[in-house]
């Protein structure tokens, strides 16, 4: 499944935006530009996107067929609304955000100007480095789009190496809650376990725990993959 080759502009140069740009570029899309990263993040961005062009949001929107907005959740509504007040969005332009918290309604003001709203959230944690590109391969990706644009959203996910997972808008909050629970629980638990091993005199708790944690997670997830019999009766 291939979407049309697109001119892609990225707004947001944190951990997610540059990797989405790299994945789409690798799939054959043309990177128009990305907003200026922080001074501390510029070297990281340029390692991922050699020769990248920096531009302000209005320039990116003007030049792009697909605008990817990869901003923190709390910034997204105000940012979109502010650009809508400037009549920045173009008729027929694809606009995509990467938030799991917000659905398509955050795009209402852009949609009123003729933009086509999409939402695409990879189910993975980003490091902001090139290793994320390999992690995308086989990862699931929550997508939302109007019915007419759903094939485009799915194609974009597939082109980046991910499996599209369509979630109804009224179920999005439950998915966001599940993701937050899974990630916060794993971080908190592993940090506490590592601290206890460190206190016991083990200098490399992360290395020691890696096989244990990996196998424990695999076993827990296997229960939800229909393979309960593999664990039945085992000590």
Q: Among candidates 71, 105, 111, 119, which has minimal Cα distance to 89? A: 111
Q: Span 7-167: which CATH code? A: 3.40.50.720
The rounded radius of gyration (Å) of the Cα atoms in the chain is 20
Do the Cβ atoms of 150 and 39 come closer than 8 Å?
no
Q: What is the mean pLDDT of residues 10-39?
A: 96
Helix (H) or strand (E) holding 142, with range, is strand 140-144
Is residue 234 over pLDDT 70?
Answer: no
Do the Cβ atoms of 32 and 53 come closer than 8 Å?
yes
Is residue 222 over pLDDT 80?
Answer: no
Give 56-109 as a DSSP string: -HHHHHHH-SEEEE---GGGHHHHHHHHHHTT---TT-EEEE--SS--GGGGHH
Please report the sign of the dihedral spanned by the C-alpha atoms of residue 93, residue 98, residue 104, residue 105.
negative
Position 226 scores a pLDDT of 58
Q: Among candidates 108, 162, 116, which has minimal Cα distance to 137? A: 162
Report the predicted TM-score, pTM, of the whole model to 2 decimal places.
Answer: 0.82
Q: What is the mean pLDDT of residues 57-71?
A: 98
- Hey, where are the domains in the chain? 7-167, 174-230
Please report the sign of the dihedral spanned by the C-alpha atoms of residue 211, residue 212, residue 217, residue 219.
positive
Residues with Cβ < 8 Å from 9, sequence gap 6 or more? 31, 32, 33, 34, 55, 60, 61, 63, 64, 66, 67, 68
Position 153 scores a pLDDT of 96
- Give the lowest-confidence range in 12-16, 27-31, 132-136, 191-195: 191-195
- Look up residue 185 and give its two tokens: 């629980």
Is residue 203 over pLDDT 50?
Answer: yes
**Tens digits of residue pLDDT in 120-157:** 999 998 989 999 999 999 899 999 999 999 999 999 99
Do the Cβ atoms of 175 and 142 come closer than 8 Å?
yes
User: Which residues is 164 bridged to in the sheet?
Assistant: 141
Do the Cβ atoms of 172 and 73 come closer than 8 Å?
no
Tell me the average pLDDT of the chain: 89
SS3 207: helix
Position 185 scores a pLDDT of 67
Q: Which residues of 18-53 are buried (b: 16+ CB within 10 A; e: fewer)?
A: bbbbbbbeebebebbbbbebeeeeeebbeebbeebe
């Amino acid at each position: 499944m291939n979407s049309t080759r697109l001119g892609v502009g990225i707004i947001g140069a944190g951990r997610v935006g540059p990797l989405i740009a790299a994945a789409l570029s690798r799939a054959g899309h043309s990177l128009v530009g990305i907003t200026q990263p922080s001074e501390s993040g510029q070297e990281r961005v340029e390692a991922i996107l050699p020769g990248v062009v920096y531009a302000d949001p209005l320039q990116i929107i003007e030049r792009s067929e697909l605008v990817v907005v990869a901003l923190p959740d709390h910034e997204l509504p105000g940012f979109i609304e502010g650009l809508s007040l400037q009549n920045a969005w173009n008729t027929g332009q694809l606009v995509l955000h990467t938030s799991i918290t917000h659905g398509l309604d955050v795009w209402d003001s852009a949609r009123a100007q003729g933009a086509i709203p999409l939402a695409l959230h990879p189910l993975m944690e980003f490091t902001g480095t090139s290793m994320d590109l390999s992690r995308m391969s086989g990862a699931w990706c929550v997508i939302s789009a109007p019915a007419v644009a759903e094939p485009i959203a799915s194609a974009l996910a597939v082109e980046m190496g991910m499996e599209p997972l369509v979630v109804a808008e009224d179920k999005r909050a439950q998915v966001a809650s599940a993701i937050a629970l899974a990630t916060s629980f794993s971080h908190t638990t592993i940090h506490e376990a590592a601290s206890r091993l460190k206190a016991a005199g083990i200098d490399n708790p992360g290395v020691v725990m890696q096989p244990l944690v990996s196998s424990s997670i695999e076993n827990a997830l296997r229960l939800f993959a229909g393979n309960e019999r593999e664990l039945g009766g085992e000590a």
